[in-house]
């Protein structure tokens, strides 16, 4: 069940009505049942896999806390091995055998390794990381093990953030789930605005941009450098709108139930460095890696070389988390390199900035533009269907100054009016995102009755009029579902 | 506090009203202009009320084969064709019910091949139901005839047509639709294409499946509807080179009870069709073929029914006859 489907439009109000009508003891069991139903709409049998992960981490959490059989670490290791084992089996097994086969073929040996014909369970990376975060927190003594199985199972499977995050922390969610929430108009209002804003980003912007991106990236040989650069630019906004839309709809859906999920994006394309970008992009994953991988590796309190190595490890793992393909690994590697260079060049940069006023708007604009270009270069690897495609695209884009290319937008199959709406929408999105950093726009909108309804109207009509939906359209799944 | 709640409710109601109105207005505006090949409801509703003496109902076999202007010219009877592509009996029933909201014909001539058509396809529903005026009949047709997955687009036309926004300028959105005019052909679709027919042969229809049974249920409903309204009903099957078999005709006749059924293929020889010139394809007549058949149909009506022409909207009908004569004089065959 996609957020941008009619089924969800029926599912969410039904769950909300039940949630507010049912007495407190039944609220969470109902939410748990609804969450499993939501998940089973994709592939019912994979709900068993999620249940297995929930049961394992739940028991390991209790055993770790009680140091059952006098082995605290054993239970954590067991939890990590089983959860990561399941993740590896479904997500990385074929990737590993394929990579090994390639390595063998490099040495002239043709070794047929077994491959699995299984579908990747939706959201497995998200709920596995959420569950692992819980197990580590219990091991560290940061939180107490959750005794109530229903509450714990709901924490892992809470439908708004189940399949594409935000990857939540136990300390944030479980206390909220334990409270009894009454219906509040302000929550409905705030949540509704987040949901329709997310829908607009997905249906109007991301899915329209996806047409350009898919056309160019699925057949890059037929497009010139400028067209591929344009498609990459489109992809940067497609993936942002797509992913942040999911987070917005998730946050909005939870907000109506008075559950506050963490903010996953903070105007990432306004970042002034790659480090800054990762503070604003997929915040829940970045902080997860920081807390559960980077810090345990020593973080920044180690030698410079070790710190560089730690950064590379984190970003390689991040790349691999995104997908079992070399393109993602190289994408992670490139971001690692960016970070390492950024860290090594920091003293030089600080020296330079001390000479120029740090708040110089021209300097800020240049830094934003530079970061945006670096991120876009990396997006080529993220989106390309293979490494050879990615390098072909790089080559064509690099040759733009040499060859006289024309953009020729109609080749992407979109009308001029659609392209115009697309540009306007992206411009509005950037302006709102930027303004949102200084003052929460939603608060301003929601506090003025007439403005609020005018905004609702504009957003809803824009979605219905210009959105990518209906017969003859192929509704795009959220990009991050595949991870 | 009370004032705040009142403002909130007022703003919500206003926003909701504007939203719903915009959704339906834009859905209506972005629907393609439809001026022939059936489902021309926007034109039908422009017809002066209670001016039609004879109502023809049927699929393309009706709206391609009968020219109301000839009937008027020959008998003084005003007539109109209500039809839609591949129209099955469910659609025929709701079309008839809807058409009778604004017209009170004395005779209904229903083309009976409609009882042989299977379930309405997705494409046909979009046209056949999608162009009906908003009414209980449209809602009923949506839920009883269209497949479940088509209902959303039929209830919210913007769902089907929103991608057409780029074809309309801002001014066009607020201008009247091009098909919001009276139909100069009174439901007929002008066809100047000719294909030479080699032979006249029987066409097989499935009369054993559930679709035929469903069609017979609607036949009963149509008969009852006409009875209730006190309107005479006759079933007829147009002449064609792929004619409905005697066996199927008998089956329909049996289910029709006392309602008359005329199969014009029984007198095919007498109609003197030129197989080289009068057909668009094995099923449909072209303009010249429709001229021949309509004259026979006009005679059939005057021979069998004593209907006094209402003589309403004479200017409109004069214009229609002139239009027919002009087209008849300028008619040229186009070989397919």
pLDDT tens readout for residues B21-49 = 999 999 998 999 999 999 999 999 999 99
Q: Is A166 found in the same domain as A201?
A: no
Q: Is A118 found in the same domain as A74?
A: yes
SS (H, E, C) B220-239: HHHHHHHHHHCCEEEEEECC
Q: A415 to chain B: nearest residue by CA?
A: B166
Q: Is A160 found in the same domain as A21?
A: yes
pLDDT tens readout for residues A313-354 = 999 999 988 888 889 999 999 999 999 999 888 888 888 777
Q: B30 to chain A: nearest residue by CA?
A: A465
Q: Is A48 found in the same domain as A157?
A: yes
| Partners of residue B165 in chain A, C-beta under 8 Å | 417, 465-466
SS (H, E, C) A286-314: HHHHHHHHHCCCCCCCCCHHHHHHHHHHH
Q: Is A123 found in the same domain as A22?
A: yes
Last residue of a domain, one of A182, A216, A250: A182
Long-range CB contacts (within 8 A, 24+) of A294-300: none
Query: How confident is the model over A44-70, as a mean pLDDT?
Result: 89
Beta carbons of A453 and B160 less than 8 Å apart = no
Q: Is A222 found in the same domain as A129?
A: no
Rounded Cα–Cα distance for residues B232 and A46 (Å): 63
Partners of B110 in beta bridges: B57, B235
Residues 6 or more apart whose Cβ sits within 8 Å of residue A260: A172, A176, A251, A254
ipTM: 0.76
Which residues of A are marked as active site? 322
Q: Is A194 found in the same domain as A45?
A: no
Phi, psi of A399 (to 5 degrees): -85, 5
Last residue of a domain, one of A134, A156, A182: A182
Q: Is A211 found in the same domain as A176?
A: no
For chain B, percent of residues with pLDDT exceeding 90: 60
Beta carbons of B165 and A457 less than 8 Å apart = no
Beta carbons of A453 and B15 less than 8 Å apart = yes
Domains of chain B: 34-149+180-335 (3.40.50.1110)
CA A95 to chain centre: 21
* Chain B from 288 to 327: CB within 8 A of any A CB: none
Beta carbons of B162 and A465 less than 8 Å apart = yes
Rounded Cα–Cα distance for residues A6 and A16 (Å): 16
Confidence of residue B80 (pLDDT cuts 50, 70, 90): very high
Q: A469 to chain B: nearest residue by CA?
A: B159
Q: Is A151 part of a structural domain of the chain? A: yes
Confidence of residue B121 (pLDDT cuts 50, 70, 90): low
Domain containing A155 equals: 6-182
Rounded Cα–Cα distance for residues B147 and B89 (Å): 15
Beta carbons of A457 and B163 less than 8 Å apart = no
**Of how many residues is chain A composed?**
483
Q: Is A465 part of a structural domain of the chain? A: yes
| Partners of residue B26 in chain A, C-beta under 8 Å | 464-465
Q: Is A191 found in the same domain as A139?
A: no
Token pair in block for residue A335: 């971001």
Confidence of residue B103 (pLDDT cuts 50, 70, 90): very high
* Chain A from 386 to 425: CB within 8 A of any B CB: 415, 417-418
Quote the pLDDT of residue B313: 92
Quote the pLDDT of residue B7: 87
Whether chain B has a CB inside 8 Å of the CB on A55: the answer is no
Confidence of residue A482 (pLDDT cuts 50, 70, 90): low
Rounded Cα–Cα distance for residues B308 and B302 (Å): 10
Q: Is A467 part of a structural domain of the chain? A: yes
Q: Is A226 found in the same domain as A88?
A: no
Phi, psi of B271 (to 5 degrees): -75, -15
pLDDT tens readout for residues A397-424 = 888 777 767 777 778 888 888 888 899 9
pLDDT tens readout for residues B204-213 = 888 888 888 8
Q: How near does any CA of chain B get to the CA of A443, in Å?
A: 16
| Partners of residue B162 in chain A, C-beta under 8 Å | 464-467, 469-470
Q: Is A270 part of a structural domain of the chain? A: no
Q: Is A352 part of a structural domain of the chain? A: no
Confidence of residue B122 (pLDDT cuts 50, 70, 90): low
Last residue of a domain, one of A182, A206, A222: A182
Q: A418 to chain B: nearest residue by CA?
A: B166
Q: Is A110 part of a structural domain of the chain? A: yes
For chain A, give the mean pLDDT: 88
pLDDT tens readout for residues A181-220 = 889 988 998 899 999 999 999 999 999 899 999 999 999 9
Q: Is A170 found in the same domain as A236?
A: no
What stretch of H or E contains B79? Answer: strand B79-83
pLDDT tens readout for residues B245-275 = 888 899 999 999 899 999 998 888 888 898 8
Task: Inform me whether the pLDDT recorded for A147 exceeds 80.
Answer: yes
Confidence of residue B336 (pLDDT cuts 50, 70, 90): low
Beta carbons of B22 and A449 less than 8 Å apart = no
DSSP secondary structure string for all residues of A410-477? GGGS--HHHHHHHHHHHHHHHHHHHHHHHS-HHHHHHHSHHHHHHHHHHHHHHHHHHSS-STT--PPP
Our count of domains for chain A comes to 2
Q: Is A283 part of a structural domain of the chain? A: no
Q: Is A298 part of a structural domain of the chain? A: no
Count A/B contacts: CB-CB distance under 8 Å. Answer: 49
Q: Is A192 found in the same domain as A137?
A: no
């Amino acid at each position: 069940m996609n957020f941008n489907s009619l089924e969800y439009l029926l599912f969410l109000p039904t769950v909300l009505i039940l949630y507010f009508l049912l007495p407190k003891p039944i609220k969470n069991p109902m939410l748990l049942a609804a969450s499993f139903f939501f998940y089973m709409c994709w592939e019912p049998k994979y709900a068993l896999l999620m249940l297995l992960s929930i049961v394992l981490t739940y028991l390991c959490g209790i055993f770790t806390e009680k140091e059952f059989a006098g082995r605290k670490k054993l239970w954590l290791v067991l939890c990590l091995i089983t959860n990561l084992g399941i993740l590896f089996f479904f997500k990385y097994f074929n990737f590993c055998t394929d990579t090994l086969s390639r390595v063998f073929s490099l040495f002239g040996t043709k070794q047929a390794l077994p491959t699995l014909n299984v579908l990747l369970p939706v959201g497995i990376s998200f709920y596995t990381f959420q569950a692992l975060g819980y197990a580590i927190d219990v091991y560290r003594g940061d939180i107490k093990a959750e005794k109530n199985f229903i509450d714990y199972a709901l924490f892992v499977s809470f439908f708004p953030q189940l399949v594409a995050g935000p990857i939540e922390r136990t300390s944030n969610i479980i206390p909220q789930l334990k409270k009894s929430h009454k219906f509040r108009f302000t929550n409905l209002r705030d949540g509704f605005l987040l949901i329709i804003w997310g829908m607009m980003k997905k249906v109007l912007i991301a899915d329209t941009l996806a047409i350009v991106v898919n056309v160019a990236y699925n057949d890059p040989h037929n497009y010139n450098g400028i067209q591929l650069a344009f498609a990459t630019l489109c992809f940067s906004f497609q993936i942002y709108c797509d992913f942040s839309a999911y987070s917005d709809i998730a946050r909005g859906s939870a907000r109506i139930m008075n559950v506050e999920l963490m903010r996953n994006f903070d105007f990432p394309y306004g970042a002034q460095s790659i480090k800054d970008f990762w503070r604003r992009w997929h915040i829940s994953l970045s902080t997860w890696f920081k807390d559960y991988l980077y810090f345990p590796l020593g973080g920044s309190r180690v030698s410079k070389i070790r710190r560089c190595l730690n950064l590379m490890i984190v970003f390689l793992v991040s790349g691999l988390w995104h997908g079992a393909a070399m393109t993602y690994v190289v994408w992670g590697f490139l971001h690692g390199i960016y970070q390492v260079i950024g860290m090594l060049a920091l003293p030089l940069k600080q020296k330079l900035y001390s000479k120029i006023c740090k708040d110089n708007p021209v300097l800020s604009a240049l830094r934003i533009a530079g970061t945006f270009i670096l991120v876009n270069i990396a997006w080529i690897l993220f989106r390309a269907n293979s490494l050879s495609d990615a390098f072909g695209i790089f080559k064509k884009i690099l040759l733009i100054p040499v060859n006289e290319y024309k953009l020729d937008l109609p080749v992407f199959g979109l009308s001029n009016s659609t392209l115009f709406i697309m540009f306007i929408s992206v411009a509005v999105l950037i302006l709102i995102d930027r303004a949102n950093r200084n003052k929460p726009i939603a608060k301003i909108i929601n506090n003025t009755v007439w403005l609020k309804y005018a905004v609702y109207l504009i957003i809803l009509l824009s979605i219905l009029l210009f959105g990518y939906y209906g017969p003859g359209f192929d509704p795009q799944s959220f990009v991050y579902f595949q991870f | 506090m009370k004032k705040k709640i009142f403002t909130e409710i007022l703003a919500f109601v206003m926003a909701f009203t504007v939203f719903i109105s915009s959704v339906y207005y834009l859905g209506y505006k972005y629907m393609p202009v439809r001026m022939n090949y059936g489902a021309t409801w926007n034109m039908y509703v422009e017809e002066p009320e209670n001016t039609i003496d004879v109502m023809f109902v049927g699929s393309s076999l009706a709206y391609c084969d009968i020219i109301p202007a000839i009937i008027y010219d020959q008998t003084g009877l005003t007539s109109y064709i209500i039809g839609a592509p591949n129209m099955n009996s469910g659609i025929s029933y709701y079309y008839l019910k809807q058409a009778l909201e604004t017209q009170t014909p004395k005779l209904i001539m229903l083309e009976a091949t409609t009882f042989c058509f299977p379930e309405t396809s997705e494409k046909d529903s979009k046209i056949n139901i999608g162009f009906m005026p908003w009414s209980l009949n449209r809602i009923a047709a949506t839920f009883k005839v269209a497949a479940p997955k088509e209902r959303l687009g039929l209830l919210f036309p913007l769902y089907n047509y929103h991608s057409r926004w780029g074809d309309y300028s801002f001014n066009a959105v607020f201008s009247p639709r091009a098909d919001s005019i009276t139909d100069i052909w009174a439901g007929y679709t002008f066809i100047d294409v000719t294909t030479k027919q080699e032979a006249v042969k029987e066409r097989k229809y499935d009369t054993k499946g559930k679709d035929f049974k469903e069609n017979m249920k609607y036949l009963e409903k149509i008969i009852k509807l006409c009875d209730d309204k006190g309107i005479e009903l006759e079933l007829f099957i147009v002449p064609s080179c792929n004619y409905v078999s005697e066996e199927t005709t008998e089956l329909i006749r049996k289910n029709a009870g006392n309602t008359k059924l005329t199969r014009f293929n029984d007198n095919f020889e007498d109609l003197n069709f030129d197989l080289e010139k009068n057909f668009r394809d094995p099923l449909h007549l072209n303009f010249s073929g429709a001229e021949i058949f309509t004259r026979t149909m006009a005679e059939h009506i005057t021979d069998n029914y004593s209907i006094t022409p209402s003589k309403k909207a004479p200017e409109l009908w004069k214009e229609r006859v002139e239009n027919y004569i002009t087209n008849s004089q300028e008619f040229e065959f186009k070989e397919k």
